[in-house]
A and B are shown apart, each in its own frame.
Chain A
Amino acid sequence: MKQVLQDAAVVGIGRTNYMRKSGRTPTSLAAEACRAALADAGLSPADVDGFTCFDTGSSSATASAVAHAIGVDDLGWCLNVYGGGNIVTTTVMGAVTAVTSGQAEVVVAYRVLASDTRYGKNLGVVEVPGENQFAGPHGYLVPPQWFAMFAQRHQHEYGSTGEDLGAIAIQERLHASRNPHAVGKDPITLDDYLNSRWIAEPFRLFDCCYEVDGAVAIVITTSQRAKDLPHPPVYVLGAADSNRDGGSVVQYSDMTTMFSAGTAPKLWERTGLQARDIDVACMYDCFTFTVMATFEDFGFCEKGEVGDYFRAGRATFGGDVVVNPHGGLLSEGYIHGMNHHYEAVLQLRNEAGHRQVANAQTALVTSGAGPFGGALVYGTAATL
């Protein structure tokens, strides 16, 4: 698989500003990010013959509509993927596969979120079908509640604490303070964290990601074509997904773990790498606990050690691995994990400015939380 993947590379990245209320439509935001990514790649919309995106059913900015919005009249390969953070790896790998299999030569993959889509609360819901019909009637329906359940069980079994979750929030916020693009740039202290209001105990405000409007796009093309483009290509060294227990956040068997308990062994086997080989870890962080569980699952440390690991400075510059140097979804902003791909590519190009991870050659990017998700490893040409 490794050999085939290296026939494609990420050659362009683009994004909008992130803000609380943009007053803009999803299509407008997505078009801006896609144009920016193509310009960064030294390409134009006329070069594009593939488009993909993911959403959870609420966005009008379909791949065909966004391609059209940047001037593509006859789009070839087009894939709208249904899903959230769990499906980012799958979406990006769909683009890679389209290129390596010859279905398209230049593919844009994007995610857009606008003010019409917010996941933290749902005060207007009237009826709940599907599995939610058993949970919704109890006032249990939204992601902060789901993953607070996971955190509670972890605290029960492994003695992890709010202070441990706070260490993650504090570290990511400090990283964001070096990132002009971040929406949450003001550093926070442990007192700030502990005094922030309860959302769904054991989660406080600073355990939750920062929902914003914005879009991120990346451009993938053949490695052959990448040689003539302006930036050093970034390669996928391997990818893996795991969809467990039917994707149920109620029935998921071991809530002290996440999808990553299944994804990590596959990813390390496919890449021949291990946690200690990773320079930058863009860990999907819809909530602090998502980082805690997935970080353990990927083998960066033992169960229950994440708080100490972060407090000891091992997850930041000069430590073992830099976790979310951009500030993550917690502090840069919630673009559903697509911004993790932007950051990973920026770091591996050595273009991250004040937050550049020295000599970054490999980047783990995880996506998803709870029962399902994926991860891939990006590498520079030197890692091939």
Chain B
Amino acid sequence: MSPSTQPTVLPQSLPPQPVPDADTQGFWAATASGTLAMCHCTDPTCGLWMMPPLDACRKCAAPTRFDEVSGAGTIYTFIIQRQAAVSGYLDNLPYVVGIIELDEQRGLRLPGRILDIAPEDVVCDMRVQATLESLPGGDYVVPVFRKQ
């Protein structure tokens, strides 16, 4: 075996990378262009927001599209990850992951890291605001959340 000339990057130093599909690529295209957008039914009388995304509304079967959301929401629940369990952020233990309920619709949730707050100060129902941040790995932009 000859020594590699490439710098070695351990897979576990990067977080898992998303694999967009036909139903989700609009989400990732939006974040890449600086917008947080969620899957939204185009029927004005229905108007359901959906997560995970799908090309047709699960209630009324109308076409969906990705519409910008405010990024404001509340922490439904959260964990403090104190030991390595998933690749990525291992130099940053502990880290806080929340499940954020967005203001647009009750039950419309996004998972995301909660930044710039001591883990012990995070509480359920805390108001947060999303911003977009490059995902380590370079190809994707993800929402992260901070206390409002």
A contacts, CB < 8 Å to B: 120-142, 144-145, 148-150, 152-153, 156, 197-203, 246, 248, 250-251, 253, 255
B-chain residues with CB within 8 Å of residue A152 when the two chains form the complex: 77-79, 124
Do A134 and B84 touch (CB < 8 A)? Answer: no
B132 to chain A, nearest CB (A): 12
17 A/B residue pairs, CB under 8 Å, sorted by A: A120-B85, A123-B84, A124-B12, A125-B16, A127-B16, A136-B15, A137-B18, A137-B88, A138-B113, A142-B86, A199-B85, A200-B85, A201-B82, A201-B119, A246-B52, A250-B99, A251-B109
CA–CA, A375 and B126, complex, Å: 36
Do A149 and B113 touch (CB < 8 A)? Answer: no
A-chain residues with CB within 8 Å of residue B20 when the two chains form the complex: 133
Total interface residues on B, CB under 8 Å, equals 46
B-chain residues with CB within 8 Å of residue A144 when the two chains form the complex: 85
Interface centre among A137, A149, A153 (most CB of B within 10 A): A137
B contacts, CB < 8 Å to A: 11-12, 14-21, 24, 27, 51-52, 76-89, 94-95, 97, 99, 107, 109-113, 119, 123-125, 135, 140, 142, 144
Do A134 and B111 touch (CB < 8 A)? Answer: yes
CA–CA, A198 and B78, complex, Å: 14
Do A123 and B18 touch (CB < 8 A)? Answer: no
Do B111 and A153 touch (CB < 8 A)? Answer: no
Do B87 and A124 touch (CB < 8 A)? Answer: yes
CA–CA, A197 and B19, complex, Å: 33
Do B86 and A131 touch (CB < 8 A)? Answer: no
Closest to B89 in A: A139
Do A139 and B97 touch (CB < 8 A)? Answer: yes
CA–CA, A138 and B20, complex, Å: 16
Partner of A137, one of B16, B82, B84, B125: B16
Do B81 and A251 touch (CB < 8 A)? Answer: no
Do A124 and B11 touch (CB < 8 A)? Answer: yes
* Top 3 A-B pairs, shortest CB-CB distance: A133-B18, A136-B16, A201-B80
B5 to chain A, nearest CB (A): 22
B-chain residues with CB within 8 Å of residue A139 when the two chains form the complex: 15, 81, 85-89, 95, 97, 113
CA–CA, A141 and B124, complex, Å: 20
Do A153 and B113 touch (CB < 8 A)? Answer: no
CA–CA, A125 and B14, complex, Å: 9
A-chain residues with CB within 8 Å of residue B144 when the two chains form the complex: 138
Do A140 and B52 touch (CB < 8 A)? Answer: no
Do A136 and B86 touch (CB < 8 A)? Answer: yes
Do B123 and A129 touch (CB < 8 A)? Answer: no
A15 to chain B, nearest CB (A): 29
Do A145 and B109 touch (CB < 8 A)? Answer: no
Partner of B52, one of A120, A122, A131: A131
Interface centre among B85, B89, B109, B124 (most CB of A within 10 A): B85
Interface centre among B80, B82, B95, B111 (most CB of A within 10 A): B111
Contacts A199-B85, A251-B107 known; 18 new A-B pairs at CB < 8 A: A126-B17, A128-B16, A128-B17, A128-B18, A130-B52, A133-B19, A134-B111, A137-B16, A137-B140, A138-B112, A142-B85, A145-B97, A149-B99, A197-B83, A198-B80, A200-B81, A201-B79, A246-B52
CA–CA, A153 and B75, complex, Å: 10
Do B111 and A138 touch (CB < 8 A)? Answer: yes
Do B125 and A156 touch (CB < 8 A)? Answer: yes
Closest to A246 in B: B52
CA–CA, A77 and B27, complex, Å: 44
A-chain residues with CB within 8 Å of residue B78 when the two chains form the complex: 149, 152
B133 to chain A, nearest CB (A): 10
B-chain residues with CB within 8 Å of residue A246 when the two chains form the complex: 52
B-chain residues with CB within 8 Å of residue A120 when the two chains form the complex: 85
Partner of B109, one of A133, A148, A197, A250: A250
Do A129 and B85 touch (CB < 8 A)? Answer: no
